[in-house]
Chain A
Amino acid sequence: MSQAQANGGSSGARVELRELVRVFGRTRALDGFSLDVEPGELVALLGPSGCGKTTALRALAGFELVDHGQVLVDGHDVARVSPQDRDMGMVFQSYSLFPNMSALHNVGFGLRMRGVRSTARRDKAHELLELVGLHEHAEKYPHQLSGGQQQRVALARALAIEPRVLLLDEPLSALDAKVRTGLRDQIRSLQQRLAITTVFVTHDQEEALSMADRVCVMREGRGEQTATPAELYSRPTSAFVAHFVGVSSRVPVRRDGATVGLWGQEVTVRNADLTARDVDAVLRPEDVAIVIDPAGPASVVHKSFLGAITRVTVSVESAEVRVDVRSDMARDLNHGDRVALSVVARDVLVSPRDGRVDVEED
């Protein structure tokens, strides 16, 4: 462990992706995508399938050539460097362990390719297997390991070469929910301990928000917003981000200067750059409060129990709004009850009305 920490000096490269363009036939998988990753930082690329996040990662690894743009590692352009010389450890979605090698030999493979002597290789591989908690499985073949164990070996293998950048391509997506959360925490704590620059691709917002220092939400080959998880959630700059990260409802409103009128309330607009008058307000479930009111404008449509809170869907005029209510309070709300709504957030995001975004689920 201490040695791995000592070797941490070689990690922590700065990665800059500049205006990457990659065209497959008629689709632009990357359409001017830029991203800066600070040394030792973990950045998650988040987005629906087909948004270009995997292409961006593969361009960084060297498996995908870009038609345009630059990939800089510590300021050096690596566009002409082949994958095997990039010193980037990558963990793939699943089944990337070499089936004909034991866990130990898988982990040692990268060192073998670098001409490290076999005893040194063994020691290092054992050390890394210990790091991921699989020391006793060193002699097993991949098919004798569970999915989670396989991914941990894959992580050890990627770290064994002391890569300048660690690349994770949806490494948890093929695992059970339980294993996934456990491994998520393990990857994060390892990454922080080794202070290794990491780019992580995922379509799972929970994963991205819980692990990353910063999250880059991608859409149609471009970065939509790059921010810390907290900022992304509470201050999304677009309806797409609001929709993709967390839960949100849209309510048609009329905009009046810097404010909009919502259920008789004047609410400040967060994004002043939008000039249209007819817009949609984008509301988080906790932005709104419910009051039982037989004369209220809204009625309860649906309740779903989520533990401490209950998510209540109410219908108001032409819109449906989802509101989080403490579960003990929600007990009194029944289907069809009339209620009144009030905005409790200090400001709201608005978005153009025609620009409805349908976020596809994978």
Chain B
Amino acid sequence: MVALTSAAGVAPAPRRHRVRVWRGLVLGIAAAYFLIPLYAGLRFSFQDDAGHWSLYALRAIPSQIGFTGAFWLSIKLAFTTLVGTLVLMVPTTIYVHLHLPRVRRLLEFVTVLPIVIPPIVLILGVLRAAPIWLKASPYLLSLMYVILTMPFVYRSLDAGISAIDLKTLVEASRSLGANGPQTLWRVILPNLRAGILSASVLTLALVLGEFTMASLDLWTTLPVWIYQFQQTDGHIATMVSMLSLIGTWVLITVMVSLDRSESRRSRRKAEVA
């Protein structure tokens, strides 16, 4: 902040220059802090115990005990959570925006709660309160993950809805003769695509990395497996960890770029027309 200060009477030109230097410095430090650990993690995964370059960790992954099971469990949980969260949150958020504007504040408050309430305390309560048959199923985690993702999902959807004039769009669609479901399918959802997409991305990222609840519910999801396996072989564990990270990034990039090329295509179509 101090670097921002400029003495009175200094001409604008050097000040602009100084601001640019200051900004470069801040961004540089941030980049170092966020990129060096990534680089370190990657380098460690591609080393063997002697510190030499090696792909052994990569090759060894599939044959490790428990890996496949943990991997598929995480994938299954991620997608059931995604479906659950979208089915619950999308209609509710849209409906509240359209018909119950006074409930919006309440919804905002309720969806912040999962940020404030520690997941570790929440799972503590769940383990006591859930019926036995549900505790026996890994999908109890999916049900809880829907709660955990709520803040991010609601915020994404809310931002998406606020960016468009939902009420006018719906009224226009209805006045042109579309019924409720047609309006939802052809007008609301396409316009909310960006919001739904970012909600989905955040959901997947959160579930694929969740450790607290899974480990205390005693299910070996991918993060739990990695943690347990580090005692066996640190390089393999780190390699899996980095791969899961990269996998999440790739997933996000693909989804975001799909959306972008989609919107670009429709824009081009509009230009031709």
Establish whether A and B are touching in the complex (CB under 8 Å): yes
Are B8 and A85 closer than 8 Å at their CB atoms? yes
Chain A residues closer than 8 Å to B13, beta-carbon distance: 65
Chain A residues closer than 8 Å to B12, beta-carbon distance: 62, 65, 82-83
Chain B residues closer than 8 Å to A83, beta-carbon distance: 12
Q: Mark A76-92, 1 if CB is under 8 A from B, else 0.
A: 00001111110000000
CA–CA, A83 and B9, complex, Å: 9
CA–CA, A336 and B15, complex, Å: 67
Does more than half of chain B's interface fall in helix, strand or loop, or is it mixed?
loop
User: What is the CB-to-nearest-CB distance from B174 to chain A, in angstroms, rounded to a whole number?
Assistant: 32
Chain B residues closer than 8 Å to A82, beta-carbon distance: 6, 8-12, 15
| Number of A-B residue pairs having CB atoms within 8 Å of each other in the complex | 17
Q: Which residue of B lies closest to A84 (CB)?
A: B8
Interface size class, chain A: under 10
CA–CA, A85 and B11, complex, Å: 10
Chain B residues closer than 8 Å to A80, beta-carbon distance: 11
User: What is the CB-to-nearest-CB distance from B259 to chain A, in angstroms, rounded to a whole number?
Assistant: 29
User: What is the CB-to-nearest-CB distance from B7 to chain A, in angstroms, rounded to a whole number?
Assistant: 9
User: What is the CB-to-nearest-CB distance from A88 to chain B, in angstroms, rounded to a whole number?
Assistant: 14
CA–CA, A257 and B12, complex, Å: 55
CA–CA, A83 and B11, complex, Å: 9
CA–CA, A81 and B13, complex, Å: 11
Chain B residues closer than 8 Å to A65, beta-carbon distance: 12-13
Which positions 2-23 of chain B face chain A at CB distance < 8 Å? Answer: 6, 8-13, 15
User: What is the CB-to-nearest-CB distance from B227 to chain A, in angstroms, rounded to a whole number?
Assistant: 48
CA–CA, A65 and B15, complex, Å: 12
Chain A residues closer than 8 Å to B9, beta-carbon distance: 81-82, 85
CA–CA, A318 and B92, complex, Å: 61
Q: Which residue of A lies closest to B6 (CB)?
A: A82
CA–CA, A65 and B10, complex, Å: 13
Chain B residues closer than 8 Å to A85, beta-carbon distance: 8-9
CA–CA, A82 and B12, complex, Å: 6
Chain A residues engaging chain B, CB cutoff 8 angstroms: 62, 65, 80-85
Chain B residues engaging chain A, CB cutoff 8 angstroms: 6, 8-13, 15
17 A-B pairs with C-beta separation under 8 A: A62-B12, A65-B12, A65-B13, A80-B11, A81-B9, A81-B11, A82-B6, A82-B8, A82-B9, A82-B10, A82-B11, A82-B12, A82-B15, A83-B12, A84-B8, A85-B8, A85-B9
Given contacts A82-B8, A82-B12, A85-B8, 10 further A-B contacts (CB under 8 A): A62-B12, A65-B12, A65-B13, A80-B11, A81-B9, A81-B11, A82-B9, A82-B10, A82-B15, A83-B12
